[in-house]
Amino acid sequence: MAYGIENGRKTVTTAGTAEALESNDHIVAYVVITAETNNTGVITVGDSSVVAAVATRTGMPLSAGDSLTLHNIDLNNIFIDTTVNGDGVTYLYAS
């Protein structure tokens, strides 16, 4: 089976508010999520309860330029949070 490669970008408007990568169901073979290289805070990746704040952090923390790869997942079920307003991620996926 051949997959097409696509990409996206997501920023968190308000730090402390988890946001889904995409608003609709979108199951992909894999996704590589990279914290934007100009981020000044920490991005965390997880489920809808992900928290970036250091005192209560949950999920996988990513510093600027760090990446995380997930397989066979719905982009609507991946959430990000940040410690700084406007920080975000870029992502590349195969579907």
The tally of CA atoms less than 13 A away on the side-chain side of residue 30 is: 9
Query: Nearest-5° angle of CA 40, CA 46, CA 50?
Result: 70
> Could you give the 3-state DSSP secondary structure of residue 76?
helix
29 near 71, Cβ under 8 Å? yes
- Contact indicator for 4, 93 with CB cutoff of 8 Å: no
Per-residue pLDDT of the chain (95 residues), as tens digits, is 667 999 999 999 999 999 999 999 999 999 999 999 999 999 999 999 999 999 999 999 999 999 999 999 999 999 999 999 999 999 999 98
Cα–Cα distance, 71 to 58 (Å, whole number): 20
- What pLDDT is attached to residue 20? 97
Handedness of CA 51, 57, 63, 66 (dihedral sign): negative
